[in-house]
Structure 1
Amino acid sequence: MIQIEKVNFNQDGLVPVIAQDSETKDVLMLAYMNKEALQLTLETGYATYYSRSRQQLWKKGETSGHLQKVVASYYDCDQDSILLLVEQSGVACHTGSWSCFTDKKSEKSILNTLYETIIERKNSPIEGSYTNYLFEKGIDKILKKVGEETSEVIIGAKNEGTEELIYEISDLVYHVLVLMVEKGVTLEDIQSALASRKEKVKS
């Protein structure tokens, strides 16, 4: 773990920071931290950077939901640059790419991206948004749509081919994600629950 007093900040009081995905080892982004940002990162366990253009702190994913949970942190041999190993929620780049160093849209981030977009719609409503319409109508409307889409999946499965089934499953997944956001259930909650069932699947 990094010790702040050992970090060699530059003449502007900043240190460059590379964020790397702890699972895929993809290099996600390069940003900067001042002492306060580094302190917050170490204290909270989530990456906070310093914007040189806005001259203010910014917590990664604070508005988009694409948070970076810090798994480990290191400085280099000169202690003037930092490497963060992170668990990336959604995409790392503001362009929508998985990494700032590639235009690859990671398949593993599709659900995360959709989930975080739904959160963003709830927190920052857009006029005419169907997602906002569901939140405005409340839990009963959302549950009704989940029920309707479940029925559509069953009907689609009874028909020939898979095109209709894929379409209906996608609709169901979307509405289930809306329900999760409404009830405060995260993708991590579901992943943990599924992981606990791993042995049951093997048996």
Structure 2
Amino acid sequence: MTCVPETGTEPGGGGSAVYAGRVKTFESLFAELSEKAVTRPAGSGTVAQLDAGVHAIGKKIVEEAAEVWMAAEYESDRAAAEEISQLLYHVQVLMVAKGLTLEDVYAHL
């Protein structure tokens, strides 16, 4: 799996999370996903996940968490970082689906 590109393409599209010399942040990813939830671009994997609902998104989070563990245990640091980026993406999709904000989550850190 690949990092979520800043260019707005969906995960797995082979992109990079670097845009105009900047690395995408947790906050910028959340803003992008929130925008997609509103604008609902055709063919968006994010929109498809939102439409699938919390249960399906939760199953994807469990799958990604296992991939993070396996990559951390048996693969390179780069592979682990890529898997972590995917986990963060799916967690944020769940946040959007539930109507949670970053502040809602930050309040518990």
**TM-score normalised by L of structure 2:** 0.75
Q: Secondary structure at the match of 1:193?
A: coil
Match of 1:188 among 100, 103, 109: 103
Match of 2:94 among 179, 183, 187: 179
- Greater share of helix residues, 1 or 2? 2
The Cα of 1:160 is off from its aligned counterpart by 4.1
Q: Distance in 2 between matches of 1:128 and 1:160?
A: 32
Q: Which aligned segments of 4 or more residues in structure 1 are displaced greater than 3 angstroms?
A: none
Within 5 Å, which residues of 2 pair with 1:75-94? none
Q: Distance in 2 between matches of 1:183 and 1:191?
A: 15
Q: Distance in 2 between matches of 1:126 and 1:173?
A: 21
The Cα of 1:175 is off from its aligned counterpart by 0.2
Q: Secondary structure at the match of 2:42?
A: coil
State, as a whole percentage, how many aligned pairs show the same letter: 37
Q: Distance in 2 between matches of 1:104 and 1:142?
A: 31
Which one has more relative contact order, counting CA pairs under 8 Å at least 6 apart?
Answer: 2
Q: Alignment RMSD, CA only? A: 2.0
Q: Secondary structure at the match of 2:95?
A: helix
- Greater share of strand residues, 1 or 2? 1
Residue 67 of structure 2 corresponds to 152
- Alpha-carbon distance change, 180 to 155 in structure 1, aligned in 2, over 3 angstroms: same
For structure 1, which runs of at least 5 residues remain unmatched after alignment? 1-102, 195-203
The Cα of 1:104 is off from its aligned counterpart by 7.6
The one-character-per-residue Cα deviations of 1:107-130 (angstroms, maximum 9, x if unpaired) are 6x7111110111111111111110
Within 5 Å, which residues of 2 pair with 1:50-199? 105=22, 110-194=25-109
For structure 2, which runs of at least 5 residues remain unmatched after alignment? 1-19
The one-letter amino acid of 1:153's match is V
**TM-score normalised by L of structure 1:** 0.42
Q: Say how many residue pairs are matched.
A: 91
The one-letter amino acid of 2:46's match is T
The one-character-per-residue Cα deviations of 1:51-86 (angstroms, maximum 9, x if unpaired) are xxxxxxxxxxxxxxxxxxxxxxxxxxxxxxxxxxxx
